[in-house]
């Protein structure tokens, strides 16, 4: 396998984020999950107790499979990308807007994600989001937990 220099690795990381965001806007959650490396992880440090850590591309795919039945993301309303000393890692501050479908409530969610991309895709995605905002859009934290099938409540 060819060694990439730091600039090529940065471009690879940003290209993966571009594809990830495009798939979200296109409501193509399979393509969204395809951005993960086979053993990549997705974690939610600010999530409520019991929220899963996702280990592997297929776990991410299962987690997001019903996302478009819960939220209709219409736009990325803002974003700032911060390169780090590690050319594979980008800190992404971003917000999405749309609607929570079950409540027909406007949805505006801010995220901070720390994303590391390797040769096979995203290896680490730490998603710092506000579960209270998601719960409010969905009608409560119990509804949010059920919407994301956390603790078998779906």
**Does residue 154 form part of some domain?**
no
**Does residue 87 form part of some domain?**
yes
Q: What is the pLDDT of residues 83-96, one digit of tens each?
A: 999 999 999 999 99
**Spatial separation of the C-alpha atoms in residues 154 and 152, rounded to whole Å:** 6
For residue 59, the enclosing domain spans 6-149
Share of the chain above pLDDT 90, in %: 67
**Does residue 59 form part of some domain?**
yes
Question: Residue 145: pLDDT band by 50, 70, 90 thresholds?
Answer: low
- Per-residue pLDDT, 39: 98
Question: Residue 138: pLDDT band by 50, 70, 90 thresholds?
Answer: low
- Under the phi-then-psi rule, with left for phi > 0, alpha for psi from -120 to 50, and beta for the rest, what region is 24? alpha
Identify the CA nearest to 120 among candidates 56, 63, 29, 49. Answer: 56
Question: Residue 154: pLDDT band by 50, 70, 90 thresholds?
Answer: very low
- Per-residue pLDDT, 46: 87
Q: What is the pLDDT of residues 51-101, one digit of tens each?
A: 889 999 999 999 999 999 988 999 999 999 999 999 999 999 999 999 988
CATH code of residue 58: 3.10.450.50
Question: Residue 137: pLDDT band by 50, 70, 90 thresholds?
Answer: low
**Does residue 1 form part of some domain?**
no
**Does residue 19 form part of some domain?**
yes
3-state helix, strand, coil in the chain (%, to 5): 35, 40, 25
- The residues pairing with 97 across neighbouring beta strands, listed in sequence order, are 75, 108
**Does residue 52 form part of some domain?**
yes
Kind of pairing between the strands at 36-43 and 54-55: antiparallel
- The residues pairing with 63 across neighbouring beta strands, listed in sequence order, are none
**Does residue 127 form part of some domain?**
yes
- Per-residue pLDDT, 139: 66
Q: In what order do the strands lie in the sheet with 121-129?
A: 54-55, 36-43, 121-129, 105-118, 89-100, 71-83
Distances (CA, A) of 18 to 11, 25, 31, 100, 131: 10, 11, 12, 23, 24
Question: Residue 141: pLDDT band by 50, 70, 90 thresholds?
Answer: low
For the ranges 11-20, 104-113, 125-134, the one whose mean pLDDT is highest: 11-20
Three-state secondary-structure class, residue 60: helix
Question: Residue 152: pLDDT band by 50, 70, 90 thresholds?
Answer: very low
Q: How many independent structural domains does the chain possess? A: 1
Kind of pairing between the strands at 36-43 and 121-129: parallel
């Amino acid at each position: 396998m060819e060694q990439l220099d730091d600039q090529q690795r940065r471009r690879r990381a940003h290209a993966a984020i571009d594809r990830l965001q495009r798939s979200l806007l296109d409501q193509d959650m399979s393509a969204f999950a395809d951005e993960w490396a086979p053993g990549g992880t997705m974690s939610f440090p600010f999530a409520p107790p019991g929220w899963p850590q996702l280990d592997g591309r297929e776990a991410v795919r299962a987690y997001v499979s019903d996302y478009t039945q819960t939220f209709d993301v219409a736009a990325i309303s803002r974003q700032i990308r911060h390169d780090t000393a590690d050319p594979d890692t980008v800190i992404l501050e971003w917000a999405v807007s749309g609607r929570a479908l079950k409540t027909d409530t406007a949805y505006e969610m801010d995220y901070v994600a720390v994303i590391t991309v390797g040769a096979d895709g995203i290896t680490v995605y730490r998603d710092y989001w506000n579960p209270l905002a998601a719960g409010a859009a969905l009608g409560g934290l119990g509804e949010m937990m059920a919407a994301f099938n956390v603790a078998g409540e779906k």
